Amino acid sequence: MASAVKAIRVAAAAAMTATVTMTGVALATGVALAAAPAAVVQPAAVAVVQPVDLGALPGITTNSATAINDRGDVVGSGYNSAYDSHGFRWSRGVLTALPDTARAPLRITNAGQIAGNLPGRSYSPGFVIRPGGAPLGLGFSVADQGEGGQVVGTGPVAGGTHAMLWRDGHTFDLGAPAGHTSDARAVSDNGWILAEIQSGDHRDDHFARWIQGRWVPLPTAGGYGSDINSRGDVVGWATTPAGSTHAMQWQGDRAIDLDPQDPLSTALAINDAGQILGSTFDPVTDLGHILLWDQGRRIDLGTFGGEFARPIALNGRGDVVVLTSTAAFRWSHGRTVRLAGAGVPTAINNRGQVVGTLLRPDGTSHAALWT
């Protein structure tokens, strides 16, 4: 994803419903990192950060920031009704509307390149805006953008869909194995691409990395990949024949079970330092827990005091953004900060700045920044 920031697009609840299988071979070759003693942390908010109201587009009732780069530039969108999004960019205190051909920006690089989509009912064509340039239409829906300016997504082709890559002004059809479709999900800052490969009967669905011009499946049949970093490491989850869901990491042709003892864990994001953000669910207390793996050590960050705790984002230095039923938090190396205001965080940059939505007393919402 853009820079080292990982904004999670897959909710933990959805992860638990995935029907994926961990094969015996993958278990046999996997390396269990959870052998190291697990740390349990119950974070307490030691400080409160007030939101900065970034404003709203004129006449738009619902506004939200979707991404922030390391320079503090923010992009987002607002809408009054479904499929009627209007994009904006906020920089140095000024919120500026984007052209109608750039209605829903998703990512912004440190160089200022913006990528996003034009929301539609059945198909949402993508766009890219180079620094200082006008929106350029893409022939595919955008899923992610890397710091190097690579944009990936999925576009229609005869007989289905293919993963697509836009780079240096050119679009490349990444194809799919015979009888399959491909759907790009994520790109690392240096160009590693993760995609889902699907067959017509869905009996051979799997995730794969783009390596030397072809799709190479993850070394766990049915393993679900959620993110990829600049070393080509993929994280996600897989389900054992007994029905347990384990957080997984794939390094090359190695399948690593991150959480052999936990039957309900998932890994959702990985940064270039190898830190992994995930979650688990306690069926006894009916509460969700935030998990962080750092140098092979599993850290249980707890529930942050809510009835649910949902991981939102991970940046390059290991800062975590969490949303609970009662509040939002930023956790950084043992220190927890509550993000004040009735708001929903969406992304974090490598300086620890968080952006999202600020709910106002009149029922409208503005883009917000927590520094």
Instruction: Write a three-state SS string for the chain.
Output: CCCCCEECCCCHHHHHCCCCCCCHHHHHHCCCHHHCCCEECCCCEEEEECCEEEECCCCCCEEEEEEECCCCCEEEEEECCCCCCEEEEEECCEEEECCCCCCEEEEECCCCCEEEECCCCCCCCEEEECCCCCCEECCCEEEEECCCCCEEEEEEECCEEEEEEEECCEEEECCCCCCEEEEEEEECCCCCEEEEEEECCCCCCEEEEEECCEEEECCCCCCEEEEECCCCCEEEEEECCCCCEEEEEEECCEEEECCCCCCECEEEEECCCCCEEEEEEECCCCEEEEEEEECCEEEEEECCCCCCEEEEEECCCCCEEEEECCCEEEEECCEEEEECCCEEEEEECCCCCEEEEEECCCCCEEEEEEC
Domain 6-370 has CATH 3.20.20.140: no
pLDDT at 43: 53
Residue 183's nearest CA partner among 191, 169, 171, 193 is 193
* pLDDT tier at 42, thresholds 50, 70, 90: low
pLDDT at 160: 94
176: tokens are: 């799919």
pLDDT at 28: 33
pLDDT (mean) for 276-296: 92
pLDDT at 14: 36
* pLDDT tier at 38, thresholds 50, 70, 90: low
Is the distance from CB of 118 to CB of 101 less than 8 angstroms? yes
Q: What is the CA radius of gyration of the chain?
A: 20
Ranges of each domain in the chain: 6-370
Pairing of strands 193-199, 206-211: antiparallel
* pLDDT tier at 342, thresholds 50, 70, 90: confident
pLDDT at 19: 33
pLDDT (mean) for 329-335: 95
Tally of CB atoms within 10 A around 21 = 14
Write out pLDDT tens, residues 146-169: 999 999 999 999 989 999 999 999
- Residue 347 and residue 363: Cα distance in Å, rounded? 22
pLDDT score of 24 more than 70:
no
* pLDDT tier at 3, thresholds 50, 70, 90: very low
Dihedral sign, CA of 26, 31, 37, 38?
Answer: negative
pLDDT (mean) for 279-296: 91
- Residue 236 and residue 246: Cα distance in Å, rounded? 9
Is the distance from CB of 365 to CB of 359 less than 8 angstroms? yes
pLDDT at 40: 59
